[in-house]
Structure 1
């Protein structure tokens, strides 16, 4: 992967992509994903970890609901990582993460992830650059451990939303009664640190790319959902899974 400059990547679908046709493709993919997930669970040879990162209001929750919500809840779990508790802070930064890595047969979705510990912590000067470098190496080793020693397949997505779209979505949380529960006045303060966030994200993409990142244009939810459903479908299809026979 080359150097990623987020301001050089569009946050919208290419102009030649038809919304109606893409939504139909997504519906078809989700139908097939239901069967593929069942195969994954039955065969019990592979695990899947889906990492979702993005700025506030980039659509992580909606994506979780619309792409993963119809899959069998026995085979999919979702974990969100918020501010560490006192107990979590008393351990190494990956301690709380490792407890939620997927066993074979499962899809685990991280709505925010271990990358928060090199993103938010750097923007707010909780850790310095030297510590960030050490943590990025630890993350690479951690992901290497999962892939090589537990047959875990990792998909990493950054939901790439524009500053303008983020502002509009945050404003909607003030006026839309169905979204007011999401409102947090701190989100507007974090939005002011946009440039700092872009810088540390780009450094993350540069140094934690043993497993490549997919930058997902996310101003339009229908396109974002297609990109991620399609990537998951391709991964599961590539595993050439089969239902096990009768147990002897």
Structure 2
């Protein structure tokens, strides 16, 4: 079954508003429906009037987000839902029927008592679909799609997703591989290896202008630098056997553009 739903988690913050705008535009490009979702753990110890106040606040937050989405993408089918429960399991469950889950990123504590960075990283590693964390800052509309390429077993999935996003946006793609020292001969050999990974996707998406770069340094710092010019950076859900890994974690925390955690 082809999944044609984009899910965006909201909490009434400026960060989630940026995520709603991004998700609405993504749904428009994908010709998908948009599901606006809020989750709150309702403690039974709360007085009835307090629980009702929480429910009313959630309804208002969802309605506002739905209006924001419709303003960005008038032709997209948008539905808002407020559900009881903790944010992570609710969003992970919603991901089972989605092509993409979108979350906002901001400082402080959010999603009603849960550390927001924790919610983003947990959903990114547990969801069965791709997850995008929107950083909220201005990004160049004509910027490239940046993808980090290494010898990870999931490299083909990550590269393919980056090409798909670039084709959908009419954007160029930059495949970045980070090296730690080595001779110019070794760098040339590494570049050839990257081209072999890219070539099948170049054939599938001939409209995408794809280039590759081999850059010396630390992977997280190099990719964060590349993010300054990008409209989207694509990373893998697993790196070197670790869930998300240090590079993906740093991207979620510091990237200046939206970060897409790719799934097969």
TM norm. shorter chain > 0.5: no
Q: Which has the higher contact order (CA 8 A, sep 6+)?
A: 1
**Which structure carries more helix by proportion?**
1
Instruction: Provide TM-score, normalisation by structure 2.
Output: 0.27
